[in-house]
Amino acid sequence: TPPSGAARPRLTFLGTGYLGATYAICFAELGYEVLGFDVDKAKIAMLSEGQVPFHEPGLDELLRKNLASGKLRFSTSYEEVADFGDVHFICVGTPQRADGMAADLSYVESAVTNLAPHLKRKALIVGKSTVPVGTAEWIEQLVRRHAPADAGVEVAWSPEFLQEGFAVEDVLRPNRIIVGVRSEWANAMLYAAHKGVFDLAMTEDREVPVVVTDFATAELVKVAANAFLATKISFINAMAEVCEAAGADVTLLARAIGYDPRIGNKFLRAGVGFGGGCLPKDIRAFQARAQELGAGEALRFLHEVDLINQRRRQRVVQLAAELLERPYGPAGPDLSGVRVAVLGATFKPNSDDVRDSPALSIVRKLARSGAQVNVYDPEGMENAKREVGDVSYTKALTEAVAGADLVCVLTEWEEFRNADPQALGELVAGRKVIDGRNCLDPVVWTAAGWEYRGMGRPVFS
């Protein structure tokens, strides 16, 4: 049974990035008293003033509402977090290490070792960040070493599956909750900490499946899910390569195989591949960890998944050379003097996240080939400018394409999918378009006089 007051335990979220801020805000919305914590003072100041530091549909409104109700606060004090919370969720970053493929756990370590000494009463530390299997056990050791012995602090693991762009919905209405625990008490506390999610589901006549398991399985669920998703994308992108060689159309191929419910049509879109702050680093860290465990051979295919993904980025440059009739040598094409409009900088639409974005990686390649690149993205411009400084950015789609010899659509924002090829055609110097996301209708664009190239699609005329 949950301890007294645990019907509504007080929750803290350490790390208020895409994951932690969304959680803090949504769990306040579900009725919990919540404290968000970050070492980044500027981020905490913004959140405290009602500003979400990143773009996520629907989140601003919920932030302001729950700040006003007093359910939600933010802090930069570990002491305050320890005093306030019954359940502490670790949501800090776990990026790829600069010196290899493995995950950098230094932020996790710092969050736990700085919090633990202040924990004066029984509390639960729950890992949500994506980590190598074995991390929960290591955190348990850190807690044993750093928390007061008589406090009885426990550890649990509950990986996270939210998708940027749908994060509010994914947190309020998750398709499953995974719980890695070592005691009945931890299980009961985690149940209490998610009761708001279950109550909401009940009022909507839905069920939220829960899998209660051990630490290692809970940790592996997350990386296994990401490995599967990355593999599915690279599978269809490998088919795109074959379609290009054979003159076939991968979009129809995907539709046709996707009707088989064992395959399914989701995540089966060929394009410039996956990116973002999760999939690329997660499949690399997973390989590194499997190697350490002596199971490296089992994940060798993920290396290939990564390579297929990288090749798609280069394919856009190859298509650019083809369309612009420039020779493509071993060092790539010479695109000097060419004006390219790049539409999209974020790794996916409805987000401002440019971490390992295929669009920006292609922008770099085009610029390196000598092209003069104009980038436009509805939400990601500020982040993109910080990543790639030496290309030009425009404030509007029409400005980006004005005078362009080639237009590349690299993120499938609605604004681009709905763009009028006739109107854009009036602005460009040459009607040539690369549809890196297969999100435009080639028939309509070709009818408007554009030379169209998709990914894994034949030449339309």
Binding residues: 38, 43, 94, 130, 161-164, 222, 267-271, 275, 281, 348, 355
d(CA 372, CA 23): 41
Residues 121-140 that bind ligand NAD (CB under 6 A): 129-130
- Segment interacting with ligand NAD, rule: CB under 6 A, options 92-100, 118-126, 193-201, 323-331: 92-100
State whether residue 87 is helix, strand or coil: strand
* Position among 38, 219, 377, 412 found at the interface with ligand NAD (CB under 6 A): 38
**With CB under 6 A as the contact rule, which of the stretches 11-19, 79-87, 386-394, 395-403 interacts with ligand NAD?**
11-19
Select from 23, 37, 89, 157 the one that contacts ligand NAD (CB under 6 A): 37
Is residue 160 within the footprint of ligand NAD (CB under 6 A)? yes
Adjacency order of strands within the sheet including 339-343: 392-393, 372-376, 339-343, 406-409, 432-435, 451-454
Instruction: Quickly count: other Cβ atoms within 10 Å of residue 237's Cβ.
Output: 24
**Minimum distance between the CB of residue 249 and ligand NAD, rounded to whole angstroms?**
31
- What's CA 393's distance to the chain center, in Å? 23
Binding track over 275-314 against ligand NAD, x by CB under 6 A: --xx------------------------------------
Choices 103-111, 326-334, 378-386, 452-460; region in contact with ligand NAD by CB under 6 A: 103-111
Q: Does 91 participate in catalysis according to the annotation?
A: no
CA 450 to chain centre: 33
**Are 460 and 442 spatial neighbours (Cβ–Cβ below 8 Å)?**
yes
Residues at the annotated binding site for NAD(+)? Answer: 38, 43, 94, 130, 164, 281, 355
Closest to ligand NAD by CB, 56 or 377: 56
Taking the C-alpha atoms of residue 230 and residue 275, their distance in angstroms, rounded to an integer, is 9
Shorter beta-carbon distance to ligand NAD: residue 42 or 331: 42
Least Cβ distance, residue 126 to ligand NAD (angstroms)? 13
Looking at the Cβ atoms of 20 and 180, the one nearer to ligand NAD is: 20
Kindly state the smallest distance separating residue 19's Cβ from ligand NAD, in Å: 3
Confirm if 178 and 221 have CB atoms less than 8 A apart.
yes
Q: Please identify, using beta-carbon distances, which residue of 11 and 317 lies nearer to ligand NAD.
A: 11
* Of 9, 12, 18, 44, the one binding ligand NAD by CB under 6 A: 18
Residue 25 half-sphere exposure toward CB, CA atoms < 13 A = 28
CB 52, min distance to ligand NAD, A? 11
Binding site per annotation, positions for substrate:
161-164, 222, 267-271, 275, 348
User: Which one among 9, 36, 93, 454 touches ligand NAD, defined by CB under 6 A?
Assistant: 93
Report which of 409, 402, 406 is spatially closest to residue 432, judged by C-alpha positions. 406
Q: Token digits for 128? A: 């949500």
* DSSP state, residue 149: G
Please state the closest distance from residue 40 (CB atom) to ligand NAD, in A. 4
Q: Nearest 5 degrees, angle CA 285-CA 287-CA 293?
A: 105
* Phi-psi category of residue 398: left, alpha or beta, with phi > 0 → left and psi -120 to 50 → alpha: alpha
Place of tokens 């999918």: 417
Cβ at position 77, least distance to ligand NAD in Å:
11
Residue 296: C-alpha distances to residues 26, 287, 288, 301 (Å): 38, 6, 7, 10
Tokens of 256: 């046709």
**Does residue number 14 form part of the binding site for ligand NAD (CB under 6 A)?**
yes
Question: In angstroms, how far is the first alpha carbon of the chain from the final one?
Answer: 68
Q: How far is the CB of 178 from ligand NAD (least distance, A)?
A: 12
Instruction: Tell me how far apart the alpha carbons of residues 435 and 406 are, in angstroms, rounded to a whole number.
Output: 11
Count of residues in contact with ligand NAD, rule CB under 6 A: 26
Q: What letter would DSSP give residue 297?
A: G
Catalytic position from the list 243, 278, 408, 439: 278
Contact (CB, 8 A) for 171 and 22: yes
Should residue 15 be labelled a site residue for ligand NAD when binding is judged by CB under 6 A?
yes
436: phi then psi, degrees, rounded to nearest 5 = -70, -10
Q: Tell how strand 332-333 and strand 328-329 pair up.
A: antiparallel
For position 164 contacting ligand NAD by CB under 6 A, the verdict is yes
Using the rule CB under 6 A, is 110 a contact of ligand NAD?
yes
CB of 353 to ligand NAD, least distance (A): 7
Q: Is there binding between residue 107 and ligand NAD (CB under 6 A)?
A: yes
Whole-number Å distance between alpha carbons of 343 and 356: 16
Q: Which stretch binds ligand NAD (CB under 6 A): 158-166, 244-252, 320-328, 424-432?
A: 158-166
C-beta of 94 vs 361, nearer to ligand NAD? 94
Report how far residue 169's alpha carbon sits from residue 273's, in angstroms, rounded to the nearest whole number: 24
Question: Which positions are catalytic?
Answer: 278
Which residues in this chain contact ligand NAD in the complex, by CB under 6 A? Answer: 14-20, 37-40, 43, 91-94, 107, 110-111, 129-130, 160, 162, 164, 277-278
